[in-house]
Structure 1
Amino acid sequence: MHRSFLSLLLASTPLCGQITLEQKETSLRVNIDGELFTEYRTDQRVPCLYPLLSPSGGGLSRNYPLTEPGEDEQSDHPHHVSMWMSHGLVNEVDFWAQHLKRKGTIVHKSFGPHFTTSSSTGKLSQSTSFTVNLSWEEGETVHLTEVRTYSIQASGKSRTIDVTSVLTAPNADAVFGDTKEGTFALRLAPSLRLKGKVAKGSILNSNGEKNGDCWGKRAAWVAYSGPDNSGEPAVVAVFDHPSNLRHPTWWHARNYGLVAANPFGQHDFERKKDKHLGDHTLKKGTSLTLRHRVLFHHGTIKSAKLESTWKQFSKQK
């Protein structure tokens, strides 16, 4: 389908100083300067990006369950697949943890039609983007369709991935239920955890709150900092765009390396009695757009310039 276009694009793009894409039938590898940065994978119950590598080359995401657990990794939460998006209650179907009686899968349908690559060698920057078409399914029932675009940039000691998800209720109303189990998420390497044998990480949010105080709070962004799996200093930050539903969102930020932006978990995060407080109904035929940026930085919280990144991202329309 888009293979001939992508092949032409790759053939015309120099390897040095560039992002290149290697597409297979159901996966797509993203290389920066000829080295793996991440790969879009569809061999799990939901599509994900794995691995996630720092500009230093060190690992920033947990390996399990995409591969065997690495040294000092825990094989808990098998639904935590590196970097992904799903939700625990959509029309009472569990697309997150598979704990409920009704279980769903997010099916990769196709790539495209969007593939672009551009560069500005004067500033040593590169960018690329690609689109995937997804279907949130329970058996033969389609609860949601999704057009998801990944836009990737590399500059100096930083990499960013912008993820834009356009979710549509094609056949009937879709109710996103109030639960902490969701939604746009990453599971980070053990070295970025706050607790554990090799844990040396810390958490900071845009409010200035730290570590355990970040859980369940509303904030524009949340950042984990500490060593990557090779011991190099690293920062991983997730930003919630101002156009998103209920911005600033709530954060499911755990000391074991899970960070998730979740606009639907209000009763859980605020410990309210009304279990439907955070419900959101997407009417049949309408769409909801969610936008997030993830920053991967080789360095410290200070050198990551999080507020500058936030301001730049927040101004994008």
Structure 2
Amino acid sequence: MLRLRWLLLSGIAAWPATSMALEIRKHEDRVEILDDGQTVTQLFESRVPYLYPLPSPSGANLARHWPIEEGVDGEEKDHPHHRSMWFSHGSVNGYDFWAWSGKGHPEIRTRGVRELSADPESATFILDLDWVADGKIQLTETRTYRIRKADPDTWWIDLHSQLQPSGQDALLGDTKEGTCALRVDRTLRLKGAMARGGILDSEGRTDGDSWGKRSKWVAFHGPDEKGEPAVVAMLDHPSNLRFPSWWHARDYGLLAANPFGIHDFENGKAPGSGDYLLQQGETLNLRYRILLHHGTPDAASLEATWKDFAETDSSDPS
């Protein structure tokens, strides 16, 4: 396990659910979500915060294991910044928060964790974040996670990011390297020794045809690590910038919604076509839902789930 750094507010160790179902525990190095005492997922901080694992109700982990865990059979060791589920971008005022490369040692630092709450069906917590490069805050972010058991076969993870510039306008640059992302486990991929998966999007496109296209949602599906059927999907909220999003969906298991990388995704578009200038006093709200299902894409009711998500209030951070 990596050595992980965490900046914590003091005074709250755990917020139990009233029925002892979902529970949030705050540790020195992570925030843990439990269901009847069993870990569902945990939020860790590295240079970019990430959630791991991504649970199937079957008990399987649907996320990539490496580099969080070593020695997992058949696991690839490419792209060390691809850590389960994360949110970052490859060009913010010219700094690469996606691959952690280049100038300025970019990292997303946690100032605090607050407003933790849990009930029998959901657990919610909020992070206050600084996107720092060259020792200067480029963006501030309020990020809300809500983990919910939608039904016995399905988990939902809702992420709401509220981005604001700090001290100057912030340019979110036109690059395919972003933004709300996850990396699926070996068997759900289309490429690799253990790959038996497929890709489906809301417009009916499959596999490689979904890359760089605009759609309301994209799903990986196939057997989980226990050999049982599973679906991992990401849904774009209609209030998001440039909805429906373009998707960085790759055969090796990367799935990312990216409203900025227009020149990479659209043939003939000039570099910079996807730039977005976030001005002082402005807030950019981006909302996504991750669906983790034990079953087939048909059983996952992806379109109905998107409609449910689309009807949620875009101004509500939870």
Query: Could you tell me how far 1:100 is from its partner in structure 2?
Result: 3.1
Counterpart of 1:60 in structure 2 is 62
One-letter amino acid of the structure 1 residue matched with residue 36 of structure 2 = D
1:85 equivalent among 87, 99, 103: 87
Q: 1:3 to 1:228 in 2, by over 3 A?
A: farther
Contact 1:63 1:69 survives alignment (8 Å):
no
SS in 2 for 1:171: coil
Name the TM-score, length of structure 2 as normaliser.
0.92
3-state SS of the aligned residue for 1:302? helix
Amino acid at match of 2:86: W
TM-aligned CA deviation for residue 197 of structure 1: 1.0
Tell me if structure 1 keeps the 8 A contact 2:24–2:116.
no
- Which position in structure 1 is the counterpart of 2:4? none
Cα distance change of structure 1 residues 208 and 185 upon mapping to structure 2, 3 Å threshold:
same
TM-score, normalised to structure 1, is 0.93
Instruction: State the AA in 1 paired with 2:31.
Output: L
Question: Residue in 2 aligned with 1:122?
Answer: none
Whichever residue aligns with residue 51 of structure 1, its letter is P
Structure 2 counterpart of 1:180:
176
Shift of residue 101 of structure 1?
3.3
1:27–1:132 distance in 2 versus 1, CA, 3 Å? same
1:51-88 superposed Cα distances (whole Å, 9 cap, x missing partner): 11211111101111112151101100001011000000
| Counterpart in the other structure of 1:115 | 116
Contact kept in structure 1, 2:174 and 2:263, CA below 8 Å: yes
The unaligned stretches of length 5 or more in structure 1 are 120-125
CA displacement 1:118-168 (0-9 Å, x = unmatched): 23xxxxxx1111101111001320000101000111121100000000001
Where does residue 161 of structure 1 map in the other structure?
157
**1:220 and 2:216 matched:** yes
Contact 2:216/2:244 (CA < 8 Å) preserved in 1?
A: yes
Show CA shifts across 1:87-112 (max 9, x none): 00000000001343344100111101
Asked if the contact 2:18–2:119 (Cα under 8 Å) also holds between the matched residues in 1, the reply is: no
- 1:1-317 alignment to 2 at 5 Å? 4=11, 7=14, 9-10=15-16, 13-15=18-20, 18-42=21-45, 44-112=46-114, 114-119=115-120, 126-154=121-149, 155-317=151-313
CA contact (8 A) 2:199 2:221 kept: yes
**One-letter identity of the residue aligned with 1:23:** K
**Contact kept in structure 1, 2:12 and 2:26, CA below 8 Å:** no
- For 2:88, give the aligned amino acid: S
Shift in Å at residue 33 of structure 1? 2.3
Measure, in 1, the Cα distance between the counterparts of 2:71 and 2:210.
27
1:152-185 Cα offsets, whole Å, 9 max, x none, are: 1112110000000000102100000000000000
With over 3 angstroms needed to count, the CA separation of the structure-2 counterparts of 1:26 and 1:145, relative to structure 1, is farther
- Superimposed CA distance per residue, residues 245-296 of structure 1 (whole angstroms, 9 cap, x where no aligned partner): 0000000000000000000000001133511000000002321010000000
Q: Do the aligned residues in 2 keep the contact of 1:170 with 1:285 (CA within 8 Å)?
A: no
Shift of 1:24: 1.2
- DSSP-derived class of the 1:256 partner: coil
Cα RMSD for the two superposed structures: 1.4
| CA distances 1:189-215 after superposition (whole Å, capped 9, x unpaired) | 010000111101000000000000000
CA contact (8 A) 1:180 1:268 kept: yes
Aligned residues of 2:24 and 2:117 also touching (Cα < 8 A) = no
Bigger drift between 127-136 and 65-74 goes to 65-74
Structure 1 segments, 4+ long, off by >2 Å, are 1-7, 12-15, 98-103
State the shift of 1:188 in Å.
0.6
TM-superposed CA distance for 1:312, in Å, is 0.3
Check the 8 A contact 2:55/2:155 in 1, yes or no: no
In structure 2, the CA distance between the partners of 1:98 and 1:3, relative to structure 1 (3 Å rule), is closer
